[in-house]
Amino acid sequence: MGTGSGTHAAAAGAGAPLLIGVLALQGDVREHIAMLEAVGARAVAVRRVAELDAVDGLVIPGGESTTMWKLATAFDLFEPVRKRIAEGMPAYGSCAGMIMLADRVLDAAPGQESFGGIAMTVRRNAFGRQIDSFEGPIGFDGLDGVDGVEGVLHGVFIRAPWVEEVDPAVHVSARVTAGPGAGRIVAVQHGALMATSFHPELTGDLRVHGRFVRLARAAR
């Protein structure tokens, strides 16, 4: 099934409001939609290819990455999402969404695939099981809108991955500063793609979503 890029091009004219989709197969879909709308974007749930075709960018929420891969395949969304990302659609992935945007995944389930796009290696469940979930401060480069200016946010990590390595083209935006996994990479940007190990949609802090919306506007 094609992605209908002509439809998307018509919908995304210069005068049209920015429309961000949230992949609605599992995870904190409503929370992401609320955050996106709070920073000035229109936001919709995406479960079908026609909905994907209409958006200017896509948020891939948390959940369980193997389940997300299987559901995306069952809903005939896996290849269309992968194609839109490869063609340059801005995307932001949190937690399992980070895994889905990684070109390389460690500890993946047999046969598991990702959408790819970010030239990095991610380890699934790197911080441990549900009981090992934790919260803590994170220094995030450029979070306040200016590259090189570090903002501090509160990170919520739930069965979270971390980034083992990145290719030179990938910008490391944040690392864990203390406690479990200190020094590990937990936020990256690669062109129009962003990913975090943690869940900003659970904190009420709008800055990560605001950064993604600015990125999507610039890309359009």
| Residue numbers annotated as active site | 95, 199, 201
Cβ-count burial 162-194 (b if 16+ within 10 Å, e if not): bbbebeeebeebbbbeeebbeebbbbbbbebbb
- What Rg value do the Cα atoms of the chain yield, rounded? 16
Q: What are the DSSP calls for 147-160, one per residue? A: TTPEEEEEEEESS-
> 165 vs 49, 181, 198, CA distance in Å?
32, 14, 17
Helix ranges (H only) for the chain are 5-11, 29-38, 49-54, 65-74, 78-86, 96-101, 207-219
